[in-house]
A and B are shown apart, each in its own frame.
Chain A
Amino acid sequence: MIAAIGGLRRPDGAAKLTGAADYAADTPVDGVTHAALVPATVATGRIAHIDTAAAVRAPGVLAVLTHTDMPRLKTIGSPPLGQSVLPLQDDTVRYEGQPVAMVLAETFEQARRGAELVRATYADVAVPRAFGDGESVTPRPGLISGNPAGRVGDVEAGLAAATTVVTATYTTPNRHHSPMEPSATVASWHGDQLTVHESTQWVFGTQMALAAAFDLPADHVRVVCPFIGGGFGCKGFVWPHTLLAAAAARVTGRPVKLVLTRAQMFTSCGHQPATTQTLTLGTDDDGRLTAVRHHSVNPTSTFDDYAENATGGTRWMYASPAIDVAVLVEHTSRQTPTPMRAPAEGLGMFALESAMDELAYALRMDPVELRLRNEPAVDPMTGQPFSSRPLPDCLRAAAQRFGWSGRPAEPRSMRDGDELVGWGMASVTMDTFRLPSSARVRLQADGRTIVEAGTQEIGTGLPGVLTTIAAQTLGVDPGSVEVHHGDTDLPETSGTFGSSATMGVGSAVAAAATELRDKLDALAGTGAYPRRLADAGLDSLDAEARWDPAERGEGRSIHTYGAIFVEVRVDPDLGLVRMPRCTATYAAGRIINPLTARSQMIGGIAWGYGQAMLEESILEPQLGRFLSKNMAGYLVPVCADIGDIDVSFIEDPDTDASPLGAKGIGELGAVGVSAAIANAVFHATGIRVRDLPISIERLLNPVWDAPTPTTRP
């Protein structure tokens, strides 16, 4: 089946399949010093004393740094920093897991042991501030993506006019990105030149932050990152460990390698904050929306306002004369949250699409029909025309592929042996973040074409996408194209986040290749370009171009869309849910590489499955810590969880988004899945789960008859 899918095999595939691809921690460095962090064990307070004596005496330990002897760093603010507080600069403890000391030693084992021997004591330790204890406030600007509040029309009047109103509160839990590769930094100084091998989604953001921290011109900092072992948002910004490793290298005068432990990954590079979302939908008798209200509140740290823009998609999803969206935050004892695949719509569409399903049942209307009836002609909030809006096509195509028309409407109407069977669906949307990037393309007389861009490969298959674009533009064989990437010495690109890389870097490569083609065409002679170069006595010719999204799309409402249909099987006695099959159809601009695009969507759907069924990081209220900082306690899907996934795309080139017609796909697949699954669980069982994940007890509770909990044996 897969052989039938067109598209270039990954050019970096052989390196990844043989272990030759170098990730940050694989960087060979002579004389490297190993660093290990000592995390705070309280969530709020002050460092009273740090006893480093035993650590300093331990074999192999070279130095122990604390806030008393750590070099003072300068801040550039966030972003590019993930949070505004810099590490080891003062004695305040703001979250559990915050670094309070760093041990440097000759070997990894010695550094880890040294870190165990550091004893910190704390004063002014207060009860951690938990989500739900405090006040919800309007977020201050900074880490907000999108406008936190917006209103059009009169929602109260719309609700008063409605004949059917659904209102419900939905919650999503704290989650952790949990990429397979823990964050890692290898830093070395040569005079006042700093070189950092970093696991980052944004080499230039890392360069910016390090240059600011050490008060250097940007060109004194080189950041290298050809490959990242997954990031999903937690490597999008710059976090304390990167600054600490660079500072330690300066203090010791030796290269320093700092690899976070898996436990530290839970407190060092952000997390997806829980959300509590309230949705109210009103319709007339025909199921046409008269009012939409979507409010969300999420916890953030005490020192930064990270607002999870969960209500974003509700702004443009359905036609309604009145829409009211708002995001509030609550200050709690935790690290600053950060975007996680899929941010914003990934959370908000669980609430909106669950509520739409509830509304469909209230109206006794097919949920696909309800969505089609509320298809807007223009962006309902801004009145702007859509650059492209093939949502109805996605709904119809996916419904047909799934076989939706045979679905009995009533819950609990399908059964197979011990299992209840349910079908559910959801619409999908994701905002389109367009970011500027540059690239250089060089054609050589030896026949090779070299594409150069600073961007890092995170698994999306960008080298293959850029190869395809360059080869198509220049009319050369893809096998003759090499992509050089992952280095701030190469042309500047944006981060690999916000589903933006194909648009940004791809458009830059297309522009550079086009310019190069024009230069080549201007050469005398005929025949293939390498021949013409040789005839002109040139070894190579290149062109560099920058693409800026401001050049197009102004005044357009630009987004990606899709529809997802799932079948679940629920064991009602045991409260277990499995998803044997899923069908999803997407409209996401021009698909450059169908092979890797399909993989991205499958991965996104599996992420949505994890969100729906497994993932939850419990923030222990008494201790103010994420309780299970390991991959046995924080569960992500394994191979056995994921059934058959049918992915298709609708042809949807969108030149308002980018000259390639391409849009972003990296996060789209993770949107809507949890709602489709929850809706299918309702269809199977008649139980509406509004709180993720859909755990065993949520499906057992409604028929509860256990003994009352006791407090004494």
Chain B
Amino acid sequence: MRFDEESEVTLRVNGEDHVIHLESRMTLLDALRDRLGLTGTKKGCDGGECGACTVHVGGRRVLACMTLAVSLADADIATIEGMAVDGGLGPIQRAFLDNDAFQCGYCTPGQVMSAAALIAEGHAGSAREIREWMSGNICRCAAYPQIVAAVAEAAGALGRTVNVTEPAP
């Protein structure tokens, strides 16, 4: 076992391998933004408190700001830049646009990544469930009702049943 302050790591992002030399202290978030130029993933708090940097690692939604890039050699990483379908908006992005589920747009990549995972997890069963399972992504513009509507719509489009008549919190 060898400890290294710096190393060469292969990051597989959106299906593409990137070999970068990095310091062990570099987070995945800074590696994506500063080294790979993938600035769609945003830094909101850099402390695990806002969800703006949500990406998928191994198909699970995680926070890039709380992940050391060096630990992800050979992991599958997906970011907002990989969410397009045939060069256009994917079904979740389309639902966000149609429901006006964002304003300033800064938290939006994280919201979309979280929504995609939430639907795959099977947590879009009702408006209440969506509210709870989208609560790791703060939207200071507070497009929350529209986000819930967009996630429900996208889940429906992706073949999930959603009960939207359930009472609010």
- In whole angstroms, what is the CA distance A33 to B105 when docked? 27
Find out whether the CB atom of A460 lies under 8 angstroms from the CB atom of B44.
no
Q: State whether the Cβ of A22 lies closer than 8 Å to any Cβ in chain B.
A: yes
Find out whether the CB atom of A638 lies under 8 angstroms from the CB atom of B138.
yes
**In the complex, which of the residues B109, B131, B149 contacts A2, with contact meaning CB atoms closer than 8 Å?**
B149
- Chain B's closest residue to A633 (CB) is B49
Find out whether the CB atom of B98 lies under 8 angstroms from the CB atom of A599.
no
Q: How many residues of B contact A (CB 8 A)?
A: 63
Residue numbers in B under 8 Å from A109 (CB-CB): 23, 25-26, 30
**In the complex, which of the residues B30, B45, B93 contacts A18, with contact meaning CB atoms closer than 8 Å?**
B93
* Contact (A17, B97) CB under 8 Å given A230-B141, A461-B103: yes
- Chain A's closest residue to B38 (CB) is A19
Find out whether the CB atom of B100 lies under 8 angstroms from the CB atom of A9.
yes
Q: How many residues of A contact B (CB 8 A)?
A: 67
Q: State whether the Cβ of A706 lies closer than 8 Å to any Cβ in chain B.
A: no
Q: Mark B64-76, 1 if CB is under 8 A from A, else 0.
A: 0000000000000
* Contact (A631, B49) CB under 8 Å given A2-B100, A639-B147: yes
- B37 CB to closest chain A CB, in angstroms? 6
**In the complex, which of the residues A21, A28, A459 contacts B141, with contact meaning CB atoms closer than 8 Å?**
A459
Find out whether the CB atom of A645 lies under 8 angstroms from the CB atom of B96.
no
Residue numbers in A under 8 Å from B33 (CB-CB): 25-26
Residue numbers in B under 8 Å from A458 (CB-CB): 104
Residue numbers in A under 8 Å from B102 (CB-CB): 10, 13, 16-17, 459
Q: State whether the Cβ of A682 lies closer than 8 Å to any Cβ in chain B.
A: no
Binds B, one of A160-168, A422-430, A601-609: A601-609
- Chain A's closest residue to B25 (CB) is A109
Find out whether the CB atom of B104 lies under 8 angstroms from the CB atom of A229.
yes
- In whole angstroms, what is the CA distance A64 to B83 when docked? 41
Find out whether the CB atom of A642 lies under 8 angstroms from the CB atom of B50.
no
* Contact (A603, B108) CB under 8 Å given A18-B40, A18-B81, A640-B135: no
- A673 CB to closest chain B CB, in angstroms? 11
Q: Which of A228-275 contact B (CB under 8 A)?
A: 228-230, 232, 259, 261-262
- A583 CB to closest chain B CB, in angstroms? 13
Q: State whether the Cβ of B124 lies closer than 8 Å to any Cβ in chain A.
A: no
* Contact (A229, B168) CB under 8 Å given A180-B52, A595-B100, A631-B47: no
Find out whether the CB atom of B134 lies under 8 angstroms from the CB atom of A639.
yes
Residue numbers in A under 8 Å from B41 (CB-CB): 19
Find out whether the CB atom of A182 lies under 8 angstroms from the CB atom of B98.
no
**In the complex, which of the residues B43, B107, B130 contacts A182, with contact meaning CB atoms closer than 8 Å?**
B43
- Chain B's closest residue to A637 (CB) is B142
**In the complex, which of the residues B50, B112, B138, B141 contacts A603, with contact meaning CB atoms closer than 8 Å?**
B141
Q: State whether the Cβ of B132 lies closer than 8 Å to any Cβ in chain A.
A: yes
**In the complex, which of the residues A9, A107, A228, A631 contacts B50, with contact meaning CB atoms closer than 8 Å?**
A631
Residue numbers in A under 8 Å from B81 (CB-CB): 18-19
Q: State whether the Cβ of B169 lies closer than 8 Å to any Cβ in chain A.
A: yes
Find out whether the CB atom of A16 lies under 8 angstroms from the CB atom of B108.
yes
- In whole angstroms, what is the CA distance A210 to B111 when docked? 35
Residue numbers in B under 8 Å from A10 (CB-CB): 97, 100, 102
Find out whether the CB atom of B34 lies under 8 angstroms from the CB atom of A108.
yes
Residue numbers in B under 8 Å from A262 (CB-CB): 44-47, 49
- In whole angstroms, what is the CA distance A230 to B138 when docked? 12
- B168 CB to closest chain A CB, in angstroms? 3
Q: Which of A439-486 contact B (CB under 8 A)?
A: 457-461
- Chain B's closest residue to A232 (CB) is B140
- Chain A's closest residue to B27 (CB) is A109
**In the complex, which of the residues A15, A17, A107 contacts B96, with contact meaning CB atoms closer than 8 Å?**
A17
- A338 CB to closest chain B CB, in angstroms? 16
Q: State whether the Cβ of A178 lies closer than 8 Å to any Cβ in chain B.
A: yes
Find out whether the CB atom of B146 lies under 8 angstroms from the CB atom of A2.
yes
Residue numbers in A under 8 Å from B137 (CB-CB): 639
- In whole angstroms, what is the CA distance A598 to B145 when docked? 11
Find out whether the CB atom of A459 lies under 8 angstroms from the CB atom of B103.
yes
Q: State whether the Cβ of A134 lies closer than 8 Å to any Cβ in chain B.
A: no
- In whole angstroms, what is the CA distance A642 to B167 when docked? 12
Q: State whether the Cβ of B139 lies closer than 8 Å to any Cβ in chain A.
A: yes
Find out whether the CB atom of B140 lies under 8 angstroms from the CB atom of A179.
yes
- B29 CB to closest chain A CB, in angstroms? 10
* Contact (A17, B93) CB under 8 Å given A180-B139, A459-B141, A644-B168: yes
- In whole angstroms, what is the CA distance A461 to B132 when docked? 27
- In whole angstroms, what is the CA distance A461 to B79 when docked? 25
- Chain B's closest residue to A597 (CB) is B100
Residue numbers in A under 8 Å from B80 (CB-CB): 18-19
- B106 CB to closest chain A CB, in angstroms? 3
- B147 CB to closest chain A CB, in angstroms? 6
* A-B pairs with beta carbons under 8 Å apart, 15 shown: A2-B100, A2-B146, A14-B89, A17-B89, A230-B104, A230-B141, A262-B44, A602-B143, A631-B45, A639-B135, A640-B131, A641-B144, A641-B169, A642-B131, A642-B142
Closest 8 CB pairs of A and B: A19-B40, A229-B106, A16-B105, A459-B104, A606-B142, A643-B168, A459-B103, A26-B39
Known: A2-B98, A606-B142, A639-B148. 7 other contacts (CB 8 A): A229-B104, A459-B104, A603-B103, A606-B144, A607-B142, A630-B49, A636-B140
